[in-house]
Amino acid sequence: MKDLQLGESGTICCLKDPEMALKLLEMGCIPGTQVRLNSRAPLGCPITVVVGDMADYTLSLRVSEAATIFLK
Amino acid sequence: MAGGQLLSGRAGAGVSAAGLENAALRHPGALTRIALVGNPNSGKSSLFNQLTGLNQKVGNFPGVTVDRKTGISQLTSQHRAEIIDLPGTYSLYPKSLDEKVITDLFYDKTSNQYPDFVVVTVDASNLRRNLLLFTQLADMGLPTVLALNMMDVAEQHGVKIDIAALQQELGVPIIPMNARKGVGIAALKIVMAQTLDAPTVQFYSPEESLLPMIRQIRYYFNLHNDYLALHYAHQYRHINFLTPDERAYVQELTEQYQFKPLEQQAQETISRYQRINEVLLNCVSVTRTEQNEPYSNRLDRVLTHKVWGYLIFFSVLFLMFQAVFAWASYPMDLIDQGVAWINGLIQTNFDGPLINLLTEGVLAGLGGVLIFIPQIALLFAFIAVLEETGYMARVTFMMDRIMRRFGLNGKSIVPLISGVACAVPAIMSARTIENRKDRLITIFVTPLMSCSARIPVYTVLIGLVVPDAPVLGVFNLRGIALMGLYLLGFFAAILSAWAMKLLLKTQERSYFIMEFPVYRWPRWKNVGITIVEKVKAFVFQAGKVILAISILLWVLATYGPPGRIEQAETAARTEATAQRLSPEETEARVASERLENSYAGVFGHVLEPAIRPLGFDWKIGISLITSFAAREVFVGTMSTIYSVGQEADQQTVQQKLAAEKDADGQPFFTPARAFSLLVFYVFAMQCMSTLAATYRETKGWKWPILQALYMTGLAYVSSLVVYQLMQ
């Protein structure tokens, strides 16, 4: 996910770090969910992503956290 | 009292007379106990404020440093309930100590704290994710009411919810509401006044293979359902009320059945989301409104812009700083004068040691507590607005990368900057930092920022040894020295934070991931309640410590070893008469002699060998002791010791200090001495109010003591280096 361009979307395929995965799952980042890179902080990290195909809500997370999310 | 009159007016699903009797049995004569749970940003605080108003109390959860906010709500004319506001969380599997409070409450059904039922706040515009927590709670078997909040936002997003169908699917009463505006509160109160049965719908059943283990735990502990037993298997290490034997038993079972907690939890979460999706499919329709880009996004383009974003943020900070520094000074002066006026009134009309204790000990201490109220109120007015509007999330977003390097958090910038005005409200404002370690580090280093109380000390000493000379035409050498001291404090704070980041170990994994809220107008009621709550917390909790220490300091400065003060006074008066001093000069001389022979003076002398390497004598030693009440006392103490007299201003003190000679007849305040003292004041922990604030925020003496030792140690070593090098 960390390689997304601004405005680009992808679908979550899997979560790498098991412990981080639990947190991400609870926050609604379920495999199969669409995510869109919404913005980057001025210094490149953290980022905000819009979760859900209905543009349900926005999460902000660090790039290191986003790196555990793989998209298909 | 637990609701005898509730049988009429049944509302919603799951209300029954049988449940009522249960509740009455559990807490004979007690208030109904209701726990308020919800995701962060689901409007839980607004709901809590709406339900309880100012009837709130902040206490402690046993064993942890988490505020326990409770309030009494008048549900109907005869029925009152105690509401417990629990920390916001996304799931019942705790990720932090703050969240653990929630499970602690729900695991032990025999505890007298066990809630009669739970109100879950759910953001209607974000149902899917919010329902996760609800389904977990429902599976715990707790009677639950669902407060379907933010209906207005959901409508704007084109989300239509069939409440009746959803109520059917979820099996609990649902109250659609808008807590910010107070819509739905009345209906919620009516349902809350009922007694509810446990929910009937089960949302998740553990896998077959886990059942043998779960059942054994369940029967061993006599638990009321499987899901709670499953939680025991997850959390047994962290459940306080289990005995070591009981923990060992659960551990044995988990090993025997090769229970894999991470996998089970992930699988459970996914399965719950699947179930929630099915539910939502039947009850929620979304008409995709072809709306323009959300206003929040457009605002963010400016407010988190790489240039404008920081400019605007620093303007906001500047405004805050201005408020705490300048605007607060008017009410502070009023409080100061008010206390002085009362003191004067008492002193002119009464006399005696008890009166002195009252005026110079108790009232002065009380004044020292009250004086902080304007700063705390103003700072928290700003912070509450920043939090309410959602701007604080942007601050974290913009500053995280920079602050993280030093073991701080994006939100640490607010306490650090506020610390330049006063560390007391600044430390309290660190509360907005969710991460425990980041918060602790921020609290620890904030007092290193030069606060306004240091300014009198800085100006007197800089004026003494730094020439008033222009530098490069535009700058002034004294100005540069002053700035240097501020920078010194700032860098000390940053570097200490960095060192602490390396030293502090934490078992808790920290996550940054959080919801990025949309911008909203602040609710002034919430802002007002935050201010009142913070002021109350300070006055009643930190205030006690401040009052106690200021009485102690008064005793030290007023009393001395038996007979010594009286002797000194007589000697001073005789000498004054011999030298034909004016009455004023005599009184100043007497005050000086009294102080020198008080316990504080004795300690000053005792301290002298320890501080001589820093270039200080016993007179400075006394000032260091009395400065502990507040740093600005330094100037007052120095003027007493040097018998400047009552109406001392900075200039006369400066002249006295400049005229002071050492044993060889050279000026005592050499640049080496003055800078050593300045550096000491930059670093040393000399503020009982700050210590009291740290005590209150960390809920114990460990951190305030470490903070005092560290800062004073740092001050000592730095002053030593400065003095020895410059001498």
Q: Is the peptide bond before A46 cis (omega within 30 degrees of 0)?
A: yes
Q: How far apart are CA B566 and CA B571, in angstroms?
A: 9
> Where are the domains positioned within chain B?
17-192, 208-259, 308-454+499-510+518-523, 526-726
At B25, the pLDDT band (50, 70, 90 cuts) reads: very low
Residue recorded with tokens 């040393």: B684
The answer to whether residue A40 is domain-embedded is yes
**pLDDT (tens digit per residue) in B109-154:** 888 888 988 999 999 988 888 999 999 999 998 899 999 998 988 8
CB-based contact (8 Å) between B286 and chain A? yes
Inform me whether the pLDDT recorded for B722 exceeds 90.
yes
Of B672, B383, B391, the closest CA to residue B519 belongs to: B391
CB contact under 8 A, A25 and B304: no
Question: Containing domain of residue A28, as a range?
Answer: 9-71
Q: What is the pLDDT of residues B296-333, one digit of tens each?
A: 888 888 898 889 999 998 888 888 877 877 788 889 88
Number of structural domains (chain A) is 1
Mean pLDDT of the region B449-474: 82
pLDDT band for position B62 (50/70/90)?
Answer: low
Whether residue B262 lies within 8 A of chain A, CB to CB, comes out as yes
Predicted confidence at residue B624, as pLDDT, reads 87
Tell me whether residues B514 and A61 touch, CB distance under 8 A.
yes
The reply to whether A39 falls in a domain is: yes
* pLDDT tier, B198 (very low <50, low <70, confident <90, very high otherwise): confident
Residue B17 pLDDT level (bands cut at 50, 70, 90):
very low
CA nearest to A61 within chain B:
B513
> H or E stretch including B313?
helix B308-322
Across the interface, which of A30, A46, A54 has its CB nearest the CB of B273?
A30
Can you give the pLDDT at residue B557?
82
Strand, coil or helix: B644: coil
Binding-site residues of B for Mg(2+), in ranges, read: 49, 52-53
Compare CB distances from A25 to B270, B393, B509 and report the shortest one's residue: B270
- Whose tokens are 């114990």? That residue is B700
Least confident of B16-20, B583-587, B600-604, B637-641: B16-20
pLDDT category at B679 given cuts 50, 70, 90 is very high
User: Which pair of structure tokens corresponds to residue B55?
Assistant: 């009837």
Q: For B501-513, write each residue's pLDDT tens digit.
A: 888 877 667 778 8
Q: Mean pLDDT over residues B413-426, rounded?
A: 84
Strands B67-74 and B159-161: unpaired
Any chain A CB within 8 A of the CB of B401? yes
| Sign of the dihedral defined by the CA atoms of residues B617, B623, B626, B629, in that order | negative
Inter-chain residue contact B512 with A61, CB threshold 8 Å: yes
* Adjacent-strand bridge partners of A59: A49, B515
B227 vs B557, residue with greater confidence: B227
* pLDDT tens column, B462-479: 888 888 888 777 778 888
Whose CA is closest to B446, among B676, B699, B703? B703
Residue A1 has pLDDT above 80, yes or no: no
**Confidence at residue B97, expressed as pLDDT on a 0 to 100 scale:** 73
Say which CATH architecture domain B17-192 belongs to: 3-Layer(aba) Sandwich (3.40)
In a domain, A33, yes or no: yes
Question: Residue B393: pLDDT above 60?
Answer: yes
Q: B262, A57: Cβ pair inside 8 Å? A: no
Residue B63 pLDDT grade (very low, low, confident, very high; cuts 50, 70, 90): low
Over the stretch B88-100, which tens digit does the pLDDT of each residue have? 889 999 887 778 8
CATH number of the domain within which A52 lies: 2.30.30.90
**Which stretches does DSSP call E strand in B151-234?**
159-161, 174-176
Is residue B564 over pLDDT 90?
Answer: no
- CB contact at 8 A, A71 and A48: no
Contact residues on chain B for A23, CB-CB shorter than 8 A: 95, 511, 513
Best probe of the A interface among B397, B400, B514, by most A CBs < 10 A, is B397
> In B142-230, at which residue ranges do the beta strands (DSSP E only) sit?
144-149, 159-161, 174-176
The size of the A-B interface in CB pairs under 8 A is 98
Per-residue pLDDT for A39 more than 50? Answer: yes
Q: How much is the pTM?
A: 0.79
- Alpha-carbon gap, residue A27 to B514, rounded angstroms: 8
Indicate which of B269, B287, B307, B520 best probes the interface with A, i.e. most A CBs within 10 Å of its own CB.
Answer: B269
C-beta separation of B438 from B420 below 8 A:
no
* Contact yes or no for B266 and A22 at CB 8 A: yes
**Lowest pLDDT segment from B69-83, B153-167, B288-302, B545-559:** B288-302
- Owner of token pair 């540069």: B480
Q: Do B512 and A46 touch (CB under 8 A)?
A: yes
Peptide bond into B609 cis (omega under 30): no
Over residues B489-497, the mean pLDDT reads: 93
Asked if A62 and B400 come within 8 Å (Cβ–Cβ), the reply is yes
- Are B90 and A54 within 8 A, CB to CB? no
Average pLDDT, chain A: 87
CA distance B140 to B134: 10
Binding residues of B: 38-45, 49, 52-53, 63-67, 85-88, 149-152
Determine whether the interchain pair A26/B300 forms a contact, defined as Cβ–Cβ distance below 8 Å: no
d(CA B451, CA B453): 5
Q: Which of B153-162, B542-551, B598-607 has the lowest mean pLDDT?
A: B542-551
Question: Could you tell me which residues of B are annotated as the binding site for GTP?
Answer: 38-45, 63-67, 85-88, 149-152
Question: Would you state the pLDDT for residue B669?
Answer: 86
